[in-house]
Amino acid sequence: METKSQEVVLNHPDLDHVHVWNRKQASRDFLNGRIGSAWSEVRRVIDEIHAVDYEVAIDFQNLLKSGFFAWQSGAGLRIGFSRLREANFLFTNLHIEVGPDARHMVRRYLKLLEPLNVSYSDHEPAIPIFVPPEKKSAVDSWFSTNVSSNRRVVALNPASSLARKRWPVERFAQTADRLADQLNVASILIWGPGEEQLVESVSRQMRTSALIAPPTTLKELAHLFSRCDLYLGNDTGPLHLAAAMDCSALGLFGPSDPERVGPWTTRAIAVAPPQPFSKRRRMEDITVDQVVAAASQLLEDRP
């Protein structure tokens, strides 16, 4: 896996090995003519994988890079999708047909386990991400200092890497105000690198007060979500992180299809514009009334 995501899986109790490669650095080296340096990073990962002596490789990504590493694993059985992308077929040797019943991406991934006779059930709870005690302690200390114990808590994330997937900032502010007024809910604005001004803008436009989360690592953010009653945000990575930490999840979807990429949990609601799905659907067509109603339902249903 790539460097940016490694913290999500490191120390997971069901994983014996995690192989990490610095794709961005290798790509920069290659584009800047440092071919030897780029290949050195790839070679390091290959040697590390070879040392394990894998028997089976499963390629969930269906990309050239993932197929290459599956092939380099030396596994005799390399499972991938029958719908091929980026010459991926050159590297896998058992191709699984995925029918229309497996529309959601998680269900598609689970199909790749069938040749191994691995059983599964829909929306089976995920094993939460492992968070070491010191990471939990930092978040718990912040909560005890800043969050009232008699209020329910919603984590609001107004960010997205793509502008077309962002719900307007002022509507996050209006939603937080209404949840505070109607349900006495405390809002925590979460953010990542470069997103500080975005959450500060939401805070400034609110009538009620909101907390701005401290800087967090991925594991600290995961534990923060586990302390919240609800996550509310755009279609982005933290939405799925919150769902994995057993937090009720409310996702806002415009140009992406929640039936395909919505949070994989029974305690989730995907809010979308009223129009049929299209990549041209606009986030602005989602109303505050829709979001407040969905948030209220999830909070009411939470044990």
* Domain positions in the chain: 1-52, 53-121, 133-301
Over range 39-54, report the average pLDDT. Answer: 94
- Tokens of residue 77, six digits: 């059985």
Ordered alpha helix ranges (H), the chain: 6-9, 23-31, 35-50, 64-72, 105-111, 133-146, 169-183, 196-205, 218-226, 237-244, 258-261, 288-301
pLDDT tens digits, 97-131: 988 888 899 989 999 999 999 887 766 666 778 89
What are the distances in angstroms from CA 188 to CA 89, 154, 172, 195, 227?
A: 45, 6, 12, 14, 11
- Tokens of residue 140, six digits: 């718990």
Of the candidates 136, 151, 171, the one whose C-alpha atom is nearest the C-alpha of residue 252 is 171
Alpha carbons 178 and 197: distance in angstroms, whole number: 22
In the block, residue with structure tokens 């007060």: 209
pLDDT at 21 over 70: yes
Radius of gyration of the chain measured on its C-alpha atoms? 21
Alpha carbons 172 and 147: distance in angstroms, whole number: 20
Amino acid at 136: K
Claim: this prediction has a pTM higher than 0.95: no
| Fold adopted by 133-301 | Rossmann fold (3.40.50)
pLDDT tens digits, 166-208: 999 999 999 999 999 999 999 999 999 999 999 999 999 999 9
